[in-house]
Amino acid sequence: MELLEQISFNLQNGLDDVVAALTKDAIEKRIPPGEILSDGLIAGMSIVGEKFKNHDIFLPDVLLAARAMNGAMEMLKPLLIKEGIPIRGKVVIGSVKDDLHDIGKNLVAILIKGAGFEVIDLGNDVPAEKFISAAKEENAHVIGMSALLTTTMPVMKKVVDLAKDEGLYGKIRIIVGGAPVSKEYALEIGADAYSYDGANAVETVESFFPVNN
């Protein structure tokens, strides 16, 4: 099996030490870091995402694959920056203010990161103002918000309103998700999209960034 295929294969099986060793090997063999990322890591993670979406695998498998991905990314990141390879896009993500649930949000962050995007995770209990200031500081392309409580959902609307006030609306895409959130609610508050689960969140983010390779 070709080296990058091996990386993809072992990443799908969540073997972080093997993925790390193979990535090191690939770097030493001077395979371009962009290729290691797209044909090895992202290729493997997209299969993981697809299987997760189809309920062929579950959260534990995704968590292990993501850990392998993150370990390899630590090695690749300096090389990607040095070569001036642009990141696929930057996503600021968080659970909204007063909402302390974060398992769903963490999963979405893992999957989006796994698809090769840079993710700035603001954690949980994030005030509306912080989503906006972080998005500005980071020059983010997407804001992703999660709420698990009906009582905290209005924070999502506040973020959209603030984005309008700050002239970001239409430039930054806003995705909302979480158990009580719906497509109708996203439409009502003026968010760009609603994602019903982690795999769908990745598809949504990807739809904002047409493939250019």
Partner 1 sequence: MNGFLERLRNGSILVADGAMGTMLFERGLKSGECPEAINLTRPSVLEEIARLYLDAGADIIQTNTFGGSPLKLASYSLEEKALLINRNAVLAVKRAVSGRAYVSGSCGPCGKILKPYGDTDPEDILESFEIQMQAFFESGCDIICIETMMDLSEMLLALRAAKERAPGIPVMATMTFDATPKGFFTIMGDTIEKAAHSLEEAGADVIGSNCGNGIEDMIRIAEEFRKRTTLPLIIQSNAGLPIIENGRLTYPESPEFMASMAKKLVDSGVSIIGGCCGTGPAHIRAIKNAISPAGPQ
Number of residues that bind partner 1 (CB under 8 A): 26
Length of the chain: 213
121: contact with partner 1 by CB under 8 A = no
Rounded CA gap, 105 and 47, in Å? 20
Q: Is 87 in the site for partner 1 (CB under 8 A)?
A: no
Identified binder of partner 1 from the candidate list 103, 137, 138, 207, rule CB under 8 A: 103
Tell me if 125 contacts partner 1 by CB under 8 A. Answer: yes
> Which DSSP category does 117 fall into?
-
- Strands of 193-195's sheet in order across: 118-121, 90-95, 142-146, 173-177, 193-195
Q: Are 95 and 123 in contact (CB under 8 A)?
A: yes
Member of 120, 182, 200, 208 binding partner 1 (CB under 8 A)? 182
Closest of 134, 135, 139, 144 to residue 104, by C-alpha: 144
Cβ atoms of 35 and 86 within 8 Å: the answer is no
Given the complex with partner 1, which of 97 and 141 has the nearer CB atom?
97
Q: How far is the CB of 99 from partner 1 (least distance, A)?
A: 8
161 binds partner 1, rule: CB under 8 A: no
Beta carbons within 10 angstroms of residue 103's beta carbon: 12
For residue 162, the minimal CB distance to partner 1 (Å) is 19
Q: How far is the CB of 199 from partner 1 (least distance, A)?
A: 12
Question: Which of 132, 116, 107, 96 has the alpha carbon at shortest distance from 199?
Answer: 107
As measured in angstroms, the least distance from the Cβ of 184 to partner 1 is 5
Q: CB of 2: closest distance to partner 1 in angstroms?
A: 28
Min separation Cβ 136 and partner 1, Å: 25
- The rounded distance, in Å, linking the Cα atoms of 138 and 132 is 10
User: Which of residues 24, 129, 151, 171 is near partner 1 by CB under 8 A?
Assistant: 151
Instruction: Write phi, then psi, for 184 (nearest 5 degrees).
Output: -60, -40
Interface with partner 1, residue 149, by CB under 8 A: yes
Stretch that binds partner 1, among 32-40, 131-139, 147-155, 164-172 (CB under 8 A): 147-155
Question: Can you tell me the distance from the alpha carbon of 50 to that of 69, in angstroms, rounded to the nearest whole number?
Answer: 16
Residues that bind partner 1 (CB under 8 A): 54-55, 57-61, 63-64, 97-100, 103, 125, 149-153, 179-180, 182, 184-185, 188
